[in-house]
């Protein structure tokens, strides 16, 4: 499990957090056990998504200089996490709901052969500063980065577990001046 210290540190990185969500609501989206699921559960029950900046759940930076390519993922800046909504149709502005993002991606890329299988086995959980997503494998718990401008290259693994992802890219990240 994520330590209390790690959870506190993670919470301090949020400028805004999502509305309360129960364990049952989180587990409904992640019903199968996988390595790190308990950490993911604990994290979402504590914070339920949110962003480093109050507007970050809705707005992504359009500056091309801030885009991180798949070969420079050590420089990625995770802006926030999608929220889990008890009602996937409900708009929870300024929060970007996980299922809403999944459905939008499914409608845009669901018929693309390179992504069809990937989308069936993953859910988006976080997003970077430039609007690309981090997806979690529903069976293994491995996290993958998807660069939507280069989707034909496929997703790139970014962390083996949710704990590794949170520790490396959320808690221990060095926030660069992006102005």
Tens of pLDDT, residues 51-62? 887 765 555 666
Residue 79 counted as domain residue? yes
pLDDT, greater one: 136 or 74: 136
Do 135 and 143 meet the contact criterion of CB atoms below 8 Å apart?
Answer: yes
Q: Is residue 25 part of a domain?
A: yes
CATH no. for residue 30? 3.40.1580.10
Q: Indicate the pTM of the whole model.
A: 0.84
Q: What pLDDT does 111 receive?
A: 77
Reply yes or no on whether the pLDDT at 148 is more than 80: no
Number of domains in the chain: 1
Rounded Cα gap, residues 7 and 4, in angstroms: 5
Q: Is there a domain that residue 177 lies in? A: no
Task: List, for residues 89-143, the tens digit of each pLDDT value.
Answer: 665 555 667 777 777 777 777 777 778 888 889 999 998 887 788 999 999 999 9
Q: Residue 66 falls within a domain, yes or no?
A: no
Residue 177 pLDDT class (50, 70, 90 cuts): very low
Dihedrals phi, psi of 50, to nearest 5 degrees: 130, -170
Q: Is residue 178 part of a domain?
A: no
155 neighbors 115 (Cβ within 8 angstroms): no
Is 34 domain-assigned?
A: yes
Q: Examine residue 14 and state whether it is found in any structural domain, yes or no.
A: yes
Q: Is the pLDDT of residue 176 over 60?
A: no
Q: pLDDT value at position 178?
A: 43
Look at residue 68 and tell me if it is in a domain: no
DSSP state of 110: T
Domain membership of residue 16 as a residue range: 4-61+73-171
- The residue with tokens 């790690």 is 6
């Amino acid at each position: 499990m994520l330590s209390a210290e790690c959870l506190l540190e993670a919470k301090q990185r949020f400028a805004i957090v999502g509305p309360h969500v129960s364990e049952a609501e989180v587990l409904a989206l992640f019903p199968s056990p996988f390595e790190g699921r308990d950490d993911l559960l604990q994290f979402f029950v504590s914070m339920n998504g949110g962003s480093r900046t109050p507007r970050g759940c809705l707005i992504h930076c359009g500056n091309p200089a801030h885009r991180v390519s798949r070969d420079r993922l050590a420089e990625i800046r995770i802006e926030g996490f999608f929220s889990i909504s008890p009602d996937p149709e409900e708009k929870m502005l300024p929060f970007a709901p996980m299922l809403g993002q999944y459905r939008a991606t499914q409608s845009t890329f669901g018929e693309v052969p390179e992504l069809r299988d990937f989308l069936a086995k993953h859910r988006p959980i976080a997003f970077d500063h430039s609007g690309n997503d981090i997806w979690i494998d529903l069976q293994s718990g491995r996290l993958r980065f998807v660069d939507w401008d280069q989707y034909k290259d496929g997703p790139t693994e970014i962390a083996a577990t949710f704990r590794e992802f949170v520790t490396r890219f959320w808690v221990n990240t060095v926030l660069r001046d992006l102005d």
